[in-house]
Amino acid sequence: MTKLFARFAKDESGATAIEYGLIAALIAVVCIAAMQLIGTNLNAKFEAIAAALGA
């Protein structure tokens, strides 16, 4: 039984998968934040253009 626990403690394959998952989640959060910022700025630009064309 102790050999099973020792082998389980040395196994790092699960840790690698978790690290990749955390990296992917971080990238997704950064992408979402950037898209929201760009979308807000782009919407303001389009509203300014629409106001200029309407005036």
**Chunked in runs of 10, what are the mean pLDDT values of the chain (55 residues)?**
75 78 96 94 94 87
> Looking at residue 30, what is its pLDDT?
97
Q: How far apart are CA 27 and CA 20, in angstroms?
A: 11
Q: Which amino acid is at 27?
A: I
What pLDDT does 22 receive? 94
Report if pTM > 0.85. Answer: no
Q: How far apart are CA 2 and CA 29, in angstroms?
A: 41
CA distance linking residue 55 with residue 49, whole number of Å = 10
